[in-house]
Amino acid sequence: MDRTAAPRTVRSSSIPCAMLLLLAGASTSVLSTPVLAEERPRELSEDIGANAAWRRGVPIIDVHGHIGADAVEKTLAAMDANFISRIVNLTAGKNAEELARAKKVFDALGKGRFILYVNDPYLNFPVEDPGFGKKVAAVVEECVRLGARGLKVSKTLGLYWKDKAGKVVRIDDPRLEGMWEACARLDIPVSIHSGDPKAFWLPVDEKNERYDELRDHPNWAFGGGAFPPREEILRQLENVVARHPKVTFVGVHFGNDPEDPDHVAHLFRKHPNYNADVAARVPEIGRQDPAKLRKLFVEHQDRILFGTDFMVSPAGYILGAGPRLPSEAEVKKYFDAHWRFFETSARQVEHPTHIQGRWKIDCIDLPVEVLEKLYYKNAERIILKRSGPGEAGK
């Protein structure tokens, strides 16, 4: 991309009257008010503030959140202030009892804007239980009956969770087949976290490029031979994806391999059921070659979903990683950094999560039609089951 090219501009004549009226009466809330796709501007500006009118008309879905049931109203306020129409709460409960309890609160206070997932249901039973697979499948089925729209599998599987003999249970352990088969039968997506940055397997010292992050999260250090190798975890993940083509997988954190976008693109081509979210990995993908990364997003525009790893509790916010912050201003900076990365061609700017690396990133200036798929259409199709590729939200 020509870095000296003239900035794109939003032509005011292309903004519908309804949107202009909304801007004129806007308060501190910037909650999206959906506008038909054909009525939205088709050109954006290098100034993310100038793009607010466009973004306000797009029903943006954050597919990667962790929201406490005691922080619903706090989360709604943050969503309203940062263009988020709906958010997926990936950790609503490990079983029917927990999910039902959370759902009662989110239904009462959430204004229909929270999408709930059941998470890590295998943790309810010993893996040695003869009826383990059927029991886990039954939990998934009951949670879906209660309203769960998907399954979240955390890195507990493949890294932390062990059998009675002290051996880490593999992601592709055959005893988990019942869980994957239930997801296929119920037609729900699986958001799966397998593996982490390469630096998490290296010594934790000042030479480690993730030292700030590992110092804050010492339990994320997997080196020294006590944990399975990163490459083995990724192989186990692909084994499951290949074995279950009827399950729609969303590899979180940019397909679980943001340091190697070529590998993620390879997985997209090889496995039509594999997708990715971008949660908490803009710092990593942002230091890739921007033209090459932009090409990947355009080529695989039906396979990538917007997510941030936004965590909210009464005590404050965790923005992808790092300490809990009390400031709404920090939340705005966090989301603005995402809009800047995807909507502009800026070079060497701050990334969203400073604790994730002491470097700057180059932005990728996605076309509007790709942004619409990233921000909401792919989530509508994959999670909410609305329309097909390229048709959602029209």
Predicted local distance difference test score (pLDDT) of residue 151? 98
Burial class (CB in 10 A: 0-12, 13-18, 19+), 13: exposed
Q: How open is the CA angle 28-33-38, to the nearest 5 degrees?
A: 135
- Contact between 119 and 94 under an 8 Å Cβ cutoff? The reply is yes
Q: Beta-carbon neighbour count of residue 254 at 10 Å?
A: 22
Q: What is the DSSP string of 297-343?
A: HHHTTTSEE----EEEETTEEEESSSS-B--HHHHHHHHHHHHHHHH
* CATH of the domain spanning 62-329, picked from 1.10.260, 3.30.950, 1.10.3470, 3.20.20: 3.20.20
Predicted local distance difference test score (pLDDT) of residue 382? 98
Nearest CA-CA partner of 196 in 87, 296, 288, 284: 284
Q: Are strands 274-277 and 310-313 parallel, antiparallel or unpaired?
A: unpaired
Predicted local distance difference test score (pLDDT) of residue 37? 60
Alpha carbon distance 247, 188 (integer Å) = 7
Q: Model confidence over 36-67: pLDDT tens digits?
A: 666 666 789 999 999 999 999 999 999 999 99
Q: Can you read off the two tokens belonging to residue 135?
A: 């029991």
> First and final CA of the chain: distance in angstroms?
30
SS3 sequence of 70-136: HHHHHHHHHHHHCCEEEEEECCCCCCHHHHHHHHHHHHHHCCCCEEEEEECHHHHCCCCCCCHHHHH
Predicted local distance difference test score (pLDDT) of residue 314? 96
Alpha carbon distance 257, 367 (integer Å) = 24
Phi and psi dihedrals of 88, rounded to 5?
A: -90, 120
Predicted local distance difference test score (pLDDT) of residue 322? 85
Give me the long-range contacts of 256-260 (CB less than 8 A, separation at least 24): 256/192, 256/193, 256/194, 256/195, 257/195, 258/197, 258/284, 258/285, 259/197, 259/198, 259/284
Predicted local distance difference test score (pLDDT) of residue 29? 58
| Exposure on the CB side of residue 74, measured as CA atoms within 13 A | 18
Nearest CA-CA partner of 120 in 145, 101, 87, 143: 143
Q: For residue 185, what are the contacts with CB-CB under 8 A and spacing of at least 6?
A: none
Residues of the chain with pLDDT under 50: 1-28, 389-394
Domain boundaries, the chain: 62-329
